[in-house]
Amino acid sequence: MDSKEFRRRGTEMVEYICNYLETLEQRRVTPCVEPGYLRHQLPDEAPEEPEPWEKIMQDVEDKIMPGVTHWQHPRFHAYFPSGNSFPSILGDMLSDGIGCIGFSWAASPACTELETIVLDWLGKAIGLPDSFLALKPGSRGGGVIQTSASECVLVTMLAARAQAIKYLKQQHPFVEEGHLLSKLMAYCSKEAHSCVEKAAMISFVKLRILEPDEKCCLRADTLIKAMEEDEQQGLIPFFVSTTLGTTGSCAFDDLGEIGEALQRFPSVWLHVDAAYAGNAFICPELKYLLKGIQYADSFNTNPNKWLLTNFDCSTLWVRDRIRLTSALVVDPLYLQHGYTDSAIDYRHWGVPLSRRFRSLKLWFVLRSYGISGLQAYIRHHIDLAKRFEALVLKDSRFEVCNDVRLGLVCFRLKGTDRINEKLLSSINASGKLHMVPASVNDTYVIRFCAVAQNAKVEDIDYAWDVITDFASEILEKEQADEVSEIVDRRKTHTLAQKRSFFVRMVSDPKIYNPAINKAQTPHRMSTELTSPGHDGTVVTVQSPKTPGSATWISWPLAFLFASADDGTKNDVTLRFRHLDTMMRLSASRRNSATGGSSPSPEGENGITLLKSPKKSPILMRKRGSSPNPPAAEFRKYGKQMIDYICDYGQTIDTRDVAPTVDPGFLRKLLPDEAPQKGEDFKRMLDDVETKIMPNMVHWNHPHFFAYFPSGNSYPSILGDMLSSAIGSIGFSWASSPAATELETIVLDWYAKALDLPCFFRSDAKGSRGGGVIQGSASECALVCMMAARARAIKELKGNHVDVHDSVYLPQLVAYASKEAHSSIEKAAKMAIVKLRALDTDSRGVFRGDTLRQAIQEDMAQGLTPCFVVATVGTTSACVFDNLVEIGQVCREVRSIWFHVDGAYAGNSFILPEMRRFKEGLEYADSFNTNPNKLLLTNFDCSAMWVKEVKLLTTALAVDPLYLQHEHSSAIDYRHYGIPLSRRFRALKLWFVFRSYGIVGLQKYIRNHIALAKRFESLVTSDDRFEVRNDVNLGLVCFRLKQQDRINRDLLARINQSGKFHMTPAMVRGKYIIRFCVTYEHATEEHIDYAWQEIKNYAEETLAAECPEEITEPVQATKKPPKKLTRSMSTRFSFTRSVSREIFERQNSRSQLTDGCTPIVIIDTDDILESLQRASRMNGERSSNDTYDTDSTEEASN
């Protein structure tokens, strides 16, 4: 698809989105499908040839939409709002069109700086203390956009854990970190989100779940009592997660009371999770709910819930960013840059390395609506909730079960839990409304949340009519059943009496006495509500004997289910905070008296008439499809954005590849606060062009040769547009069946296209494996290591179920080569698993003999190998590890989980001629590759397959009531990764496969390989240069046959020109320049031009450094040859920088020097000092022989 066709198809997609949202009321809220509905409608394999766009879009309407749960529907009242708006969609469109990956400031300055500024805007609007804002003088804090609230809670818990372990190591320097973990205790309320429990599982710490008061509020006295009890037991409180706006009932923990009480525990990290309610604090009248925030160490809220911003956009602020980043930092050379000491690098703030340009859509939303517009939106939702509350209270059959402060009402029929469960099941089965249950004070309630962006009073009244109609029908049926039961029992007794009469009439005179013969009505049997688990196991939920005093200790589910597969699951007492009941989201095809009906032909196409069981005035009224006012604007501005993206792509070669700006540049160009009133789209787009674009690194530029390809294509952009408009959050099958099923099918397509072993496919006969799309390769590595850790500990523990898992943790060892991606080191750091980085052979290949020797040495020391990573296509030089040798070694040790990281090169297996590099993959337990690198799919899209799905999900599963559903056999991807919520990522990958076909994707990759080979031949034709890697794919590692210092200066000259962008690496002990073919439409002319310019810069460099050694005439250039200053060389050649803490942990400085570049030691108090300070430090260091390695290097050469 070229820009001309994209202009046409993009305009059509804008129209489709507008029509979808304008006619949404005509569709069922939830689909009427069963698990597996999509499998038989789609082919078993990806198409070989490209398909017409019209056919793809027809399949969207005919096959995808009938399986979508419409989260933007005005009658969707489940979960929480899925923040969606036209400005946000426009921001996401532009982000996809730009396609930058903003993991560091250098990777895209505007991406990083806009995030910092926008989060200061939002933090001020919410009312956070200045210490949370990055740009306030003297502040050590700052904000970051994470994928989900789950990641916010996880990274803050990891930071708190690192802080606690650091303190304990000072007290006990010879004790293993794994043993110290057994002392740590985290705390949360029984009403806290399940992500806190998952974070504790991943962090491998104890979590004490505390009883809230009668209003579901966690109180300080309960918390302090628990902490004091734990301290008496020798445990160490280190983390408290409070909630403002709980998931079940939108209750608010007493933050002020808790924060003040925690002053007695200064080392405890206090986190505030306000994922939903935090957005409301932009309203002045609601800021009282934030009382006590001055005591917090971190705070998170989700604009993608209630601030009209598409998922994913979860904002986290910390009071001290150094405490956060020190727990997560890993820093390979190819990611380093000269501004590390004066700019934020967000790759150190979370789990993944790579990051989407999320701040763009949040910026669009804040500017389009203004603070006043967002306040009006939130107040409107609160008014709607208050109206619904009033309707409930007017009906004596119902009761409200929570304090309605925001947009959530918890209500129920005054009766048994069984009646309420039946009511909810019946309503959901009808497709007229969608709600979910919760447990409030151990009582089953129904959650009604104001969700839709354009919800009206009429929608609330309609919903209440539906609810009362179903309630009346159920109550009438219950009464009829009760009467029928009494009548039946009387009939039974009468028949029995008559039978006995004929037997006894001759001999028993008492039969004539009516008083004797009258049968007594039996007492009505009381019914106890019990509900079995998915496998029939009865789970006992223990109520506290004394209200407010009982607590739960929650350990990883891997421990609780340790004996699940040997038939002894019932021997383990499960004590969780959710009831053993399920929401019955029925997709029944049976006609029923409760409103369910067989799907009509219209229903099969995604649209059905909504028939009510009773004829209420509101249900009889035909709701007109009144046009959504913003839709007309979106038609106009959406088409303008399509044009802008097309023009950007067509003229990108006229822009500099990378800017030459200093950190802090954008702060001078933008206001200090978000606007109070909305601004028009033209002004925003003008600011994009004049303030954002000139300061971007253009990853899709023909002369961008850094990192790896940012897989970007027009079909993928269109897929993301549609995903953003649908706005469904596919954490479970029930939350959006189409999102789950399309992901499963497309990953089976993908596995077949790559010729992966059949056990990785979910559709293979007898397979126990399957695939999942994660946000990044970093997440793939982490969750696989979690699964390996859980399996190894289970095997070590055996029948010793009373022994804490942390006792076995110090025994575990993971292995990777020194060329493995830094995400492996980060995963081991988060998992507290020892990692051995092993040497490679002379070609950079990780070999089996090296691994076997390391394993034997460790096992001799009593250690247990648990995880091995091999790489196909290493980051530095695209080297392929020997999978056959490594796999055979792993097969010899039962406890090892063998993971293969093919983030870049794994995509090349789509070519038959590249499959020789995957030999040995049959030994693997898991494999990942990134279509967002080499398969023309926008970030974030990292595909991962596992051989045993159960081993993965067991290590990560938590299952609160409001997420449960009856289709337990269906895949729920929330158990496959870190976050609960997930984007509809499969849609863009499906679009790419169908638009290009396998043949088109093969052609694209082969072109990259051919161009890399051409560049290799150009380099080897010049005797001054050398190639330092085997060029098998799209990466060439080259250098001048000179000192590393001169190559560093060469790279600096190339990058400072703005014409090209490349990055360095260390390959076989030498500093090299990485030249990676990244542009989708790259040609030989692009390669030849790049080589000619590289030679020009090389001649300048050599002339400035060693004029007497120049043997060829220097060609005329625009600038005279000159020697770069140390500051400029550092700036453009990515000099390594480390934190003071990392520096102090090293045994010797030689481990830091890399043999090529000097070290910048960062004072943690000066992390955001100006460029002038950084330059001054560089100047001082250059005159200090202690840290200058150049003289040493020159002597060695």
Give the model's confidence band at 1130: pLDDT under 50 very low, under 70 low, under 90 confident, else very high. very low
Tens digits of residue pLDDT in 1044-1094 = 999 999 999 998 888 999 999 999 889 999 999 999 999 999 999 999 999
Residues 158 and 243 grouped into a single domain: yes
Residue 236: pLDDT over 70: yes
Q: Is the domain of 890 the same as that of 798?
A: yes
On whether residue 917 sits in a domain, the answer given is yes
Q: What is the CATH number of the domain that holds 807?
A: 3.40.640.10
Please report the pLDDT score of residue 959 as a whole number. 63
The string of pLDDT tens digits covering residues 627-649 is: 334 688 899 999 999 999 999 99
**Domain co-membership, 922 together with 810:** yes
User: Are 286 and 379 found together in one domain?
Assistant: no
Mean pLDDT lowest among 85-94, 598-607, 670-679: 598-607
Cα–Cα distance, 647 to 653 (Å, whole number): 11
836 within a domain of the structure (yes/no): yes
CATH number at residue 379: 3.90.1150.10
What is the domain extent for residue 458? Answer: 374-478
Q: How many CA atoms lie within 13 A of 87 on its CB side?
A: 26
Beta-carbon count within 10 A of 1197 CB: 10
Same structural domain for residues 297 and 403? Answer: no
* Number of domains making up the chain: 3
Report the pLDDT averaged over residues 946-966: 77
Q: What does the pLDDT read at residue 660?
A: 83
Residue 91 lies in a domain: no
Alpha helices in 798-919 (DSSP H): 822-831, 848-860, 883-892
The pLDDT score that the predictor gives to residue 773 is 97
Does residue 231 belong to any structural domain of this protein?
Answer: yes
**Which DSSP string do the residues of 193-242 spell out, in sequence order?**
-HHHHHHHHHHT-EEEEEP--TTS---HHHHHHHHHHHHHTT-EEEEEEE
Residue 663 has what pLDDT? 87
Q: What does the pLDDT average to over 423-442?
A: 92
For 349-356, what is the mean pLDDT? 89
Q: Which of 444, 478, 512 is the last residue of a domain?
A: 478
Judge if 290 and 398 occupy the same domain. Answer: no
Q: Say yes or no to pLDDT of 398 above 60.
A: yes
Q: Which residues contact 227 (CB under 8 A, 6 or more apart)?
A: 185, 187, 237, 265, 268
What angle, rounded to 10 degrees, do the helices at 86-98 and 359-394 form? 150
Last residue of a domain, one of 478, 509, 540: 478
- Confidence (pLDDT) at 966: 55
C-alpha 830/C-alpha 820 separation (Å) is: 17
Mark whether 182 and 286 lie in a shared domain: yes
Over the stretch 748-772, which tens digit does the pLDDT of each residue have? 999 999 999 999 999 999 999 999 9
Residue that is last in its domain, among 451, 478, 505: 478
Query: Do 306 and 177 lie in a common domain?
Result: yes
**Direct distance between the N- and C-terminal alpha carbons of the chain, in angstroms, rounded to an integer:** 51
Query: Could you tell me the two tokens for 191?
Result: 């009403």
CA 219 to chain centre: 31
Same domain for 305 and 380, yes or no, is no
Does the structure show a pLDDT above 50 at 334? no
Do 785 and 934 fall into the same domain? yes
333 within domain boundaries: no
**Bridge partners (DSSP) listed for residue 241:** 188, 271
Q: Is residue 1082 part of a domain?
A: no
Q: Which of 95-109, 588-602, 1053-1067 is the least confident region?
A: 588-602
**What does DSSP assign to residue 266?**
T
850: in domain: yes
**Cα–chain-centroid distance for residue 1170?**
33
Q: What is the pTM of this model?
A: 0.83
Other beta carbons within 10 angstroms of residue 302's beta carbon come to: 28
Question: What is the structure's pLDDT at 487?
Answer: 63
Same domain for 926 and 832? yes
Mean pLDDT of 1015-1044: 97
Residue 385, in any domain of the structure:
yes
Please tell me whether residues 197 and 294 are part of one structural domain.
yes
